[in-house]
Amino acid sequence: MTLPNWITFSRLLGIPFIIYGLQNPTSQARWICFTIFVVAACTDWLDGYLARKLNQVSDLGKFLDPLVDKLLVLAPLLSLIELGQIPAWGVFLILGRELAIAGWRVNQPKISGANVWGKLKTVTQIVAIALLIAPLSPEWELPSVIAFWVSVALTLISGAIYLLPEKKQEDSQVVASGE
């Protein structure tokens, strides 16, 4: 396994600490969770950078990276539902998109990396979750929730962008074959 893949895998190690810390949401625990989350999220950039720089881009990395990203995003979101900070249906939309794209990727002949919309989706999710985890003053409550809903919208848009070109290609194949 390559160094970038080990870094990707290391992101998983922070998840139990984030979940545990959010079960006792004191200000200190939340700052610790925030720090762990941000450090783990930064490794998403680092593993991709190193994979390209060291010429170690691999199918395992292309598969593992988005899977670990999904776990890193969904774990704190589930805790934030329990804390009453965000509605479950918003997280359900994110989960539904992630499952749909994961299913779509399984049927692809070649594993591809994330497109710009997928990366934008991930960045907005990370920003929203970081804002929601951090024990900020009440003035930050509305911007944090808005950031969450922006991330939900970009999650759905990026999912549609992945699937719509596939649908158009299938439609053109049906027309070309006369079906």
- Model pLDDT for residues 150-164, shown as the tens digit of each residue: 999 999 999 898 887
Q: List the domain range (segments joined by +) for residue 19.
A: 3-163
What is the structure's pLDDT at 112? Answer: 61
> Could you tell me which residues come within 8 angstroms of residue 146 by beta carbon, excluding any fewer than 6 positions away?
none
Tell me whether residue 29 is in a domain: yes
Residue 170 lies in a domain: no
Report yes or no on 15 lying in a domain.
Answer: yes
Residues 43 and 10 sit within 8 Å (Cβ to Cβ): yes
Higher pLDDT: 177 or 30? It is: 30
Residue 167 has pLDDT above 60, yes or no: no
Q: For position 7, which CATH number holds?
A: 1.20.120.1760
The confidence band for 137, taking pLDDT boundaries of 50, 70 and 90, is very high
Is 63 inside a domain boundary? yes
- Give the residue carrying structure tokens 């900070």: 85
Instruction: Report if residue 175 sits inside a domain.
Output: no
pLDDT at 48: 87
How many structural domains are present in the chain?
1
Q: Is residue 171 part of a domain?
A: no
Q: Could you tell me if residue 127 is inside a domain?
A: yes
Higher pLDDT, 12 or 168: 12
Domain contains 94: yes
3-state secondary structure the chain: CCHHHHHHHHHHHHHHHHHHHHHCCCHHHHHHHHHHHHHHHHHHHHHHHHHHHCCCCCHHHHHHHHHHHHHHHHHHHHHHHHCCCCCHHHHHHHHHHHHHHHHHHHCCCCCCCCCHHHHHHHHHHHHHHHHHHCCCCHHHHHHHHHHHHHHHHHHHHHHHHHHHHHHHHHHHHHHHHCC
What gap in Å lies between CA 120 and CA 8, rounded to an integer? Answer: 18
Contact indicator for 66, 103 with CB cutoff of 8 Å: no
Give the tokens for residue 32. Answer: 């610790």
CA–CA dist 2, 50 (Å, integer): 10
